[in-house]
Structure 1
């Protein structure tokens, strides 16, 4: 039977001298609280606080990092229990799904998914059995027993994981009912929403007009014309801020953010309501709305997060059958310098504005993002995101941005995941990688060790705390009294 053990020096530098320094730096950060400001865990998970259903639906079915690897090796999504849009037949036996996953455990060698899963199994579930075809049933039973424990409910795990603050990402049309429940239960300052308006600002997206009607209903503002649409979005942002939101989140294909003349914005909006919008007009309107969202951030204090450069639903057949977020979102080259120039010229020096930029295009780190963050006071670089939140991806990020932007023009580490149990693993990995990078600076006599320790603590805790600190015109979120 395979035994799973985690080496205490995993992901630290290989050389003895540098590893010794890295150990000391890491020890200064390993117990710090977690700030999870770019999260995607569903608020309902915490509001309902129900036990996790089974190992397969906890660790396999919802994790597109896991399922995409298995699909790439010929395992159909249906065989992994991923539900079909039309309600068609898929595997419903969680034990069988788990067996398929364990039989293919070798596929994850060298991937961050393996790092996170091993951490979850050993550190969180307290199990030392390695996945494999011969251990699948035993491991399933051991995890099932752990999930049945009352101490393994989502709210209890907030304490176990030492999560000080976690954000969820919620559409602009969310009723925020789950957050209201969390507020009533005294967790409103610990689990906060994030405003995501993409489905409304992309006027050619399926179901757009239906969502605009929802926006009108929730905001109480008539959205028949463009001005009403903008006013309704402002009203929803206010509702999110009152519910404790710190930020907005924008996942556009490009970072283009330039204003349209009012008449042109009104024309495109009216055409969209008639169902008569060209792709070019829709793209221009999306960029215009990014600019307007920046303007609104100056007014309400919500930090603006942009993460462009992903072509969503690359396989239309998979999208039709299984919907979005199934592992077929593929990065494309991203351009920031010209794309963001109108926005930064307008708001880049406004002390009320904070912009956190993420990318999955590493070529933009040293060429564009670090120089932008090293010049404009409003810009912070978000942590390596999606395909780059890996040991080597995090190292490359530090190497490519630090010399131009320094450490303090970044947001520190903020995780980006729907997989709740992987959050401690992701933060732990980032702290180890940063310890290794800082140790190299110490060994090369480019930084004193006490400075390296202070910087590591800043990256792990103080920088995300500052990057997402609310300021808005004296407004104190309604949930702040629960802190």
Structure 2
């Protein structure tokens, strides 16, 4: 598998191999992700292979559920406390028995690369006959000191890893990491969705907790804004260089202060008015852009998911367990209020992601090709497959070039997949650049420099790392 994901034509493949050689050993910069900082702070051995690689991985569990496998058999906890499979080996056997379902998927590629590159299992193929052998081999590795979280962090060559936390998080795990000398290697990201999204039934409670944390009067709109500024500074002191905003749409708006204050107070008092939540989210994006101009934090926008579309899954197993679906998302009109105010503001940076890849050519690449503040985020979630990464380069480069993109972000909770995800992205970029070289559209030395920039220098620059 040494040339996997490289072009089939021998001459282009040789160029891709050479270009990848310039990036394969470069440090990993992971500017956006969801690894639990408690894992690195505690540095305890990982649990069994199933709880490491299957139970928390929605890519894996959702495909199995789509084929009729009950979530309980995969160790997914029920909301009602009902019986769930606890035996890691039994969960693993379910995956092995259904391994054929993953043919051609990025999940299979990532898992097989993890087996080989992280756990040293060679080219063993998972299946019912090999399930126990693979499980035992991984379990044996996990018992070794070299497979504890911090040891793997070192072996993976991670230079910087960003996690993602709510403004209500005390960040005690980051404080522990800082005390151990890891404060600049594992940094936090400010994700304020739970205190911004009025559609959240617990929004008012979260806003009041924000006030308790900061000593600000969050019954008042100005006090609410001051509390958010205070928490941003708290996060910056613990390494944060970015904020992240997961919204249903990319809508932005700039309300009069009095209108925003009335809307805020109305919802805080329990009155729900149609359209308020969307308008307030859009208004707060502009406010957060204004705060970013003040404090330098990079603003990330992750719009487009229809959360928990599967009501049966949501009702039985809770939120965020694999029932989310991408939606069509509009950007040109949606982002205009924010870009009108801050699109040319010196020092302001906004990284925009999408789950609607039809928007790359039509809207996002042209927007990034106009506004200095805007960068294109890497293909995300449903799109971070080899094919999605390849289509991204093919669709955005002609309008936005390479340098209006932000490099690769793995966006993962699966810690052991981080090195293989970055390896896949670097190979896809090498393959794309190799084609340009083979077609006499880019000199080889410039392609090598571009590959290194995409893998390492661009994310460091864009995210101010």
- How high is the TM-score relative to the length of structure 1? 0.95
* CA displacement 1:139-175 (0-9 Å, x = unmatched): 1111110000011111111111000000001011110
C-alpha contact (below 8 Å) 1:204/1:272 kept by paired residues: no
Which among 157, 178, 183 is matched to residue 183 of structure 1? 178
- Name the CA distance, whole Å, in 2 between partners of 1:324 and 1:33: 34
- Name the CA distance, whole Å, in 1 between partners of 2:319 and 2:354: 20
Partner SS state of residue 126, structure 1: coil
1:81 aligns to 2:68 (yes or no): no
What is the match of residue 194 of structure 1?
A: 189
C-alpha contact (below 8 Å) 2:208/2:219 kept by paired residues: no
Query: What are structure 1's unaligned runs of at least 5 residues?
Result: 1-6, 471-483
- Name the CA distance, whole Å, in 2 between partners of 1:220 and 1:243: 20
- Name the CA distance, whole Å, in 1 between partners of 2:308 and 2:348: 32
1:391 aligns to 2:386 (yes or no): yes
Partner SS state of residue 218, structure 2: coil
1:210 aligns to 2:221 (yes or no): no
What is the match of residue 131 of structure 2?
A: 136
What is the match of residue 288 of structure 2?
A: 293
**Map of 1:210-289 to 2, 5 A cutoff?**
210-289=205-284
1:94 aligns to 2:88 (yes or no): yes
Change in 2 beyond 3 A, CA 1:339/1:49: same
1:350 aligns to 2:345 (yes or no): yes
Partner SS state of residue 445, structure 1: coil
**Map of 1:410-425 to 2, 5 A cutoff?**
410-425=405-420
Query: What are structure 2's unaligned runs of at least 5 residues?
Result: none
What is the match of residue 14 of structure 1?
A: 8
Which among 358, 361, 369 is matched to residue 366 of structure 1? 361
Which among 112, 120, 123 is matched to residue 126 of structure 1? 120
- Name the CA distance, whole Å, in 2 between partners of 1:189 and 1:98: 36
Greater shift in the superposed pair: 447-456 or 274-283:
274-283
What is the match of residue 479 of structure 1?
A: none
Partner SS state of residue 40, structure 1: coil
Aligned residues: 464
C-alpha contact (below 8 Å) 1:204/1:279 kept by paired residues: no
What is the match of residue 3 of structure 1?
A: none
Q: Compute the displacement of 1:130 (Å).
A: 1.9
1:381 aligns to 2:385 (yes or no): no
* CA displacement 1:305-356 (0-9 Å, x = unmatched): 0011111110123112212221111000011110000100100111121000
Name the Cα RMSD after superposition.
Answer: 0.9
C-alpha contact (below 8 Å) 2:46/2:142 kept by paired residues: yes
Partner SS state of residue 275, structure 2: helix
- How high is the TM-score relative to the length of structure 2? 0.99
1:305 aligns to 2:272 (yes or no): no
- Name the CA distance, whole Å, in 1 between partners of 2:312 and 2:66: 15
